[in-house]
Amino acid sequence: MIWQQAILVKTGLLPPFSYWSLLPMPLSLAFQNLPPQMRATILMIVALFMFTCMGIFIRLSAADLPVIEVVFFRNALAVVLLVPLIMRVGWSSIRMQKPKLFFLRAVINFGGMFCGFTALTLIPLAQMTALSFTGPLFVTIGAVLFLGEIIRARRIAAIAVGFLGTLIILQPGFTEISVGAMMALASALSIAMASLIVKKLTATETPEAIVTWMVAMQAPLALIPALSVWQWPSLESWCYLWAMALAGTIAHLCFTRAYRLVDITALQPLEFIKLPFAVILAWLIFSEWPGLWTWIGGAVIFASTVYITQREARAKKSLRPNAGGRETKL
């Protein structure tokens, strides 16, 4: 879901966080003296590693708990971690202007989260990571269908190439497409739809409201079905759940700051390192090793999303920006 957060950051949707105090003073000063591009690169690498760790802890938690319960704790613990932020900026900052749109976004995002968490328990972590690269492809298609954005032949071709990468991973006709792989794609599609709603919310809502109400609404949405299969976490499971929440929070802190330092196009190529991170951690912890086609398909999907992002950035900087019939020829 990193590409989804990029939308939040670049639209000013994610609030600034103070993370300098987490570092010893000499390291903090040395880090702040680095060039912005280098600081952003370091922060992005840390964020991507922590997002991968979060996936590991999700799977470890789901080994003893129902997936829907893990989804509940992911959101409930996030609420706990957000309370200090809301207290600092004031409770009025989370007032909603369009509650129905908030709820629709929460329902769709909740579906994507459940599918993604389920996929993590059914397919190798590397395959899940590679298929998650399809998210920006779905966002681009959704922006055309629902937001009226216009794209030309080059980006259409890039989308087609991206989905060709998906076929390389899934290999339909040669191997059976697993339920886990379909859940991974459903997750990417759902989160892409939620991202389009986020674009609408940015016009009227505060950053604190967007971030807080997502997890605050998703927690009860998950709790209701979770009660039917409820199991109290063991001490070990509690450790995994809090580690999941902490890893996600650290990733969020580093990610938001990285995208505030430099443009999204400067950092997106780094996101491919999620795949080797996933491969290494899954090999160490779960003894998983991906096949060659996962590497090839993941690279093809990722290359197409980078191309699309670059073309969109050029379109925004064009002297003839998109404006109905005056759409730039990209």
Judge whether 48 lies within some domain: yes
> What are 29-71's pLDDT values in tens digits?
676 777 777 888 888 888 889 989 999 999 999 999 999 999 9
Residue at 172 is within a domain: yes
Is pLDDT above 50 for 304? yes
Residue type, 262: V
pLDDT of residue 183: 95
Phi and psi torsions of 105, nearest 5°:
-60, -40
328 within domain boundaries: no
Residue 12 confidence class, pLDDT cut points 50, 70, 90: very low
Q: Which domain holds residue 111?
A: 2-15+34-317
pLDDT at 66: 96
Number of domains in the chain: 1
Give domain status of residue 94, yes or no.
yes
User: Is there a domain that residue 24 lies in?
Assistant: no
CA distance 166 to 305: 12
Please report the pLDDT score of residue 4 as a whole number: 52
Global pTM reads 0.78
Tell me: the pLDDT tens digits for 63-92?
999 999 999 999 999 899 888 878 887 888
Give domain status of residue 22, yes or no. Answer: no
